[in-house]
């Protein structure tokens, strides 16, 4: 049964779906963010065999689902909002299976996926609810399976408070998005406690990179790659954690 919060998000994203993709991935910075995001994901996913059973949770308009398809996977993707998934379905041209479902209650048996990915989703939820989502995601992942999840970066939010404010005012006419920020070490620790091993963390993007973008996308991409790792990782807008479910 759908809870109140899920109902609220479904309503929100039904409307947001009209301009979600254009605003997130078709602006100057959006294109840079997407290329940096895909660069890391390709590196992380490439070692998987193309027969691997892959699940994407909260696929939205499907830019990651399409990346999987382009890499030769045949993913299963799910989301709460049909209007978002409708675009994902069109993007993947029949090469992915889509299911309308709530991530808190995934309609799959235990341990059936070799890999599970979820992007730009967990920042919607307070940390206690993130934990519930991790548990549900890990339930459907097989032991040794790969978990790839991302978060909004607490450090960059505060270190770059001024450019972040300016960016949000210009781009979205708001002070800051309604988002939950995570600390890298604490999040890694939480996942380790839930049995996720061999964790690796990569920084992605940074709204300040819009400045080099005005001059050259190549330069901005080069600088963006430097944000994957320490010391610049603390400035990245988001961070991805990848790890293996323990036995
Ligand atoms: C910010 S969008 C991210 C979409 C996509 N993963 C991306 O990287 O662009 C968040 C997505 O989460 C979905 N969502 C929100 N609550 C959900 C829930 N409880 N279960 C599944 N999907 C949910 C929304 O419908 C929306 O498509």
Distance from the alpha carbon of residue 28 to the mean position of ligand 1, in angstroms:
23
The architecture of the domain spanning 4-152+181-203+237-245 is 3-Layer(aba) Sandwich (3.40)
For residue 160, pLDDT over 80 is answered with: no
From the CB of 35, is ligand 1 less than 6 Å away? no
Cα 201 from Cα 199, distance rounded (Å): 7
Distance from the alpha carbon of residue 34 to the mean position of ligand 1, in angstroms:
16
- 64, with CB counted inside 10 A (0-12, 13-18, 19+), is buried
Q: Whose alpha carbon is nearest atom 5 of ligand 1?
A: 60
Q: For residues 151-157, give the mean pLDDT.
A: 89
Chain segment 31-71, per-residue pLDDT in tens:
999 999 999 999 999 999 999 999 999 999 999 999 999 99
Q: Are 62 and 87 a contacting pair, CB within 8 Å?
A: yes
- In the chain, where the domains are located: 4-152+181-203+237-245
Q: Whose alpha carbon is nearest atom 13 of ligand 1?
A: 58
Q: Are 184 and 156 a contacting pair, CB within 8 Å?
A: no
Q: For residues 71-80, give the mean pLDDT.
A: 98
Closest atom, ligand 1, to C-alpha of 121: 10
Q: Whose alpha carbon is nearest atom 10 of ligand 1?
A: 121
Residue 138: which of 128, 148, 129 has the closest Cα?
A: 148
3-state SS string for 37-52: HHHHHHHHHCCCCCCC
Q: Note if the pTM is more than 0.85.
A: yes
From the CB of 102, is ligand 1 less than 6 Å away? yes
Better pLDDT: 173 or 72:
72
Q: Are 34 and 40 a contacting pair, CB within 8 Å?
A: no
Residue 63 has a CB neighbour count (10 Å cut-off) of 19
Cis peptide before 231 (omega within 30 of 0): yes
């Amino acid at each position: 049964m759908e809870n109140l919060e899920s109902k609220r998000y479904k309503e929100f994203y039904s409307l947001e779906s009209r301009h979600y993709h254009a605003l997130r991935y078709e602006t100057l910075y959006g294109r840079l963010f997407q290329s940096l995001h895909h660069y890391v994901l390709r590196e992380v996913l490439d070692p998987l065999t193309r027969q691997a059973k892959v699940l994407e949770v909260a696929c939205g308009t499907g830019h990651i689902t399409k990346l999987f398809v382009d890499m030769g996977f045949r993913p299963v993707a799910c989301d709460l909002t049909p209007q978002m998934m409708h675009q994902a379905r069109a993007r993947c041209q029949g090469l992915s299976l889509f299911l309308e479902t709530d991530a808190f209650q995934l309609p799959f048996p235990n341990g059936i996926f070799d890999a599970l990915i979820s992007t730009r989703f967990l920042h919607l939820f307070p940390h206690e609810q993130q934990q519930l989502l991790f548990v549900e995601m890990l339930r459907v992942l097989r032991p040794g399976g790969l978990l790839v999840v991302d978060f909004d970066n607490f450090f960059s939010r505060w270190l770059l408070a001024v450019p972040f404010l300016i960016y949000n005012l210009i781009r979205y006419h708001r002070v800051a998005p309604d988002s939950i920020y995570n600390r890298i070490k604490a999040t890694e620790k939480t996942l380790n406690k839930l049995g996720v091993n061999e964790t690796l963390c990569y920084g992605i993007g940074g709204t300040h990179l819009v400045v080099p973008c005005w001059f050259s996308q190549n330069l901005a991409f080069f600088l963006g790659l430097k944000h994957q790792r320490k010391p610049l990782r603390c400035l990245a807008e988001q961070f991805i954690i990848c790890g293996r479910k323990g036995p």
